């Protein structure tokens, strides 16, 4: 990770680690996943990004929707203190908005 950032840090000022790693599952699984992500991935990732490019901004993985249990555990594990911006992908389970017929789900 460090070598890649050293080589390509000029490409961006914002770095996001992962994509939709929050499970659409029971709240207990969401909590476990959030804590594992913050402690095992986000914390070391931020350290490396700031070492390589101190002015860079760090984002969480793009959240596949917003789930209360996941965000609560993310915050309790210190995740909000580690990011400069929150990345959210609102089009998620049960289907993306382009499949919405007549305002069934996304309305």
Specify the pLDDT at position 96: 58
- pTM assigned to the model: 0.79
In a domain, 101, yes or no: no
Specify the pLDDT at position 107: 46
pLDDT tier for residue 7 given thresholds of 50, 70 and 90: very high
Encode pLDDT of 41-82 as tens digits.
999 999 999 999 999 999 999 888 778 889 999 999 999 999
| 47, 49, 96 from 82: Cα distances, Å | 9, 11, 29
CB 104 within 8 A of CB 62: no
Q: Give the range among 13-17, 51-55, 81-85 with minimum mean pLDDT.
A: 13-17
In a domain, 59, yes or no: yes
d(CA 43, CA 31): 17
CA torsion, points 8, 14, 17, 23, in degrees to nearest 10? -150
In a domain, 100, yes or no: no
**Continuous segment of H or E residues that includes residue 55:** none
Domain total for the chain?
A: 1
In a domain, 103, yes or no: no
In a domain, 65, yes or no: yes
Residue range(s) defining the domain that contains residue 52: 2-95
């Amino acid at each position: 990770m460090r070598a890649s950032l050293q080589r390509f840090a000029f490409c961006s000022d914002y770095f996001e680690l992962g994509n939709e790693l929050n499970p659409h599952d029971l709240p207990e699984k969401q909590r476990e996943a959030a804590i594992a992500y913050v402690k095992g991935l986000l914390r070391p990732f931020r350290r490396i990004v700031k070492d390589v490019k101190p002015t860079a901004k760090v984002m969480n993985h793009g959240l596949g929707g917003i789930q209360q249990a996941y965000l609560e555990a993310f915050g309790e594990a210190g995740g909000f203190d580690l990011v400069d911006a929150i990345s959210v992908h609102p089009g998620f389970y049960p289907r993306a908005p382009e499949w919405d017929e007549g305002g069934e789900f996304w309305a």
